[in-house]
Amino acid sequence: QVQVEQSGAEVKKPGTSVKVSCKASASTFSSYAVSWVRQAPGQGLEWMGGIVPISATTKNAPKFQGRVTITADELTSTIYMELSSLTSEDTGVYYCARERGGNPGSSPRDLDYWGQGTLVTVSS
Amino acid sequence: EIVLTQSPATLSLSPGERATLSCRASQSVSSYLAWYQQKPGQAPRLLIYDASNRATGIPARFSGSGSGADFTLTISSLEPEDFAVYYCQQRRNWPLTFGGGTKVEIK
């Protein structure tokens, strides 16, 4: 069974960082890539970046380059997304999602299993 | 990056009617286009991948077509649970990009 479970809501001050976790099933961690997608309130979906957990290979969207760090912990099958230098524009729901298909990281993919989302609120 | 433009922004229809949603890419994405459904307070759900393939468990009333830069999602007969927001997404190039969404609302 595919499991993608995210950490709980966060409230952060501007200028700080947030780290969101995504616990995956062992099969997902070992055989698939995982992406992070965010959604500002009332807005659309925005891809932030992704990781092949088993190799720790990452790819980030240019918009977030230098501000987002995606990592993976093999011992706990958990993927992390850390976003730094937060502003109010970073308020939104952050999703992790499994990238469909094998040979992870070889090409861009669509996203077939999603976590429940983590609300991040940035406010002074 | 590849820009996806969805139209219309809102579609007002009644249950049982046919819905036709459009997604246009700023350059060819071949057949590397997916469609998602999102209901309020929920994560998106993959409906269609690679332009015309239904994802696991997706009803046959959902179908996708198109290639190159023009794509269509069709819902043959709207069920009450189909009223939601629909997004397209390309995987031709990194970064992955999404369209702005089409809201299908009850007329």
Q: B97: which chain A residues are within 8 Å (Cβ-Cβ)?
A: 47
Mean pLDDT taken over chain A: 94
| CA A113/CA B50 separation, integer angstroms | 16
Chain-chain contact of B44 with A114 (C-beta, under 8 angstroms): yes
Chain-chain contact of B55 with A108 (C-beta, under 8 angstroms): no
pLDDT digits (tens, 9 = 90+) for B28-48: 999 999 999 999 999 999 999
Residues shown for chain A: 124
Among partner residues B55, B96, B101, which is closest to A44 by beta-carbon distance? B101
B68 touches chain A (CB under 8 A): no
Q: Radius of gyration over alpha carbons of chain B, in Å?
A: 13
Chain-chain contact of A46 with B98 (C-beta, under 8 angstroms): yes
pLDDT digits (tens, 9 = 90+) for B57-100: 999 999 999 999 999 999 999 999 999 999 999 999 999 999 99
Q: B43: which chain A residues are within 8 Å (Cβ-Cβ)?
A: 95, 97, 114-117
